[in-house]
Amino acid sequence: MRKSLAESWSCWKLSRITELERTGWSADTWLSHCRPEGQNDIRRALRCKWESDEPARWLVWLMLNPSWAAEEHDDTTKRVTYYTMHWPEERFDGWIAVNLSPQVNPDGASFSSGTAGLAEAAKDDNLLDIAEAGAGAAKRVVAYGVSAIKSHRALVWSSIDALVRPVWCLGVNGKQQPYHPKRRAAIMTPSELADKVKVLPERVLGKRKRRI
């Protein structure tokens, strides 16, 4: 029987961020992941907090696909933490990351092949995880990058529908596709972040396709 995210999180583990690139910013955080038992190549979700108590306000991020990060930060989760802590005019206690695909693959270029190999049941379960995370969020951000729409339009649509609108982003390209947190070589300062964040435009996805 499928368990919800709330029933499946691993124990919290301390993961310190020290002197983040170019900012000198440091933080004590705790990470917790959710994986199906015995399946290390699947990560349903990852969460991070910096309060000692259970966070009340989550910022949920819809990303492309998981990396191996689970108990220690990688470059992307460091930026997600920094941006969540410095989100303009709002305070969050932590973030939860879900993905268009739960298949662990640190190479984003292999996203299409990894997604194609997922069983339909795994895709459906992933949409349920996205919906559960989104339902408990104070705010939702899409940051899966600008390339997913090219060959996975229906998957993007269904994932955003599950997340629930409105959704925010870190800015968009000329075709109105949302940027990934690592799109810029240099991390954004809080003032730059305030200039870039926006509600994802309704026209962002164009015409729907029936098949994922």
Measured between alpha carbons, how far is 72 from 32 in angstroms, rounded to an integer? Answer: 10
123 against 83, higher pLDDT: 83
Task: Read off the amino acid at residue 148.
Answer: A
pTM of the model: 0.91
Sorted by where each begins, the domain ranges of the chain are 5-203
Tens-place pLDDT, residues 87-136: 999 999 999 999 999 988 766 555 665 566 677 888 899 999 999 999 99
Exposed (0-12), middle (13-18) or buried (19+): which is 20, by Cβ within 10 Å?
middle
Measured between alpha carbons, how far is 210 from 212 in angstroms, rounded to an integer? Answer: 7
208 against 129, higher pLDDT: 129
pLDDT band at 53 (very low <50, low <70, confident <90, very high): confident
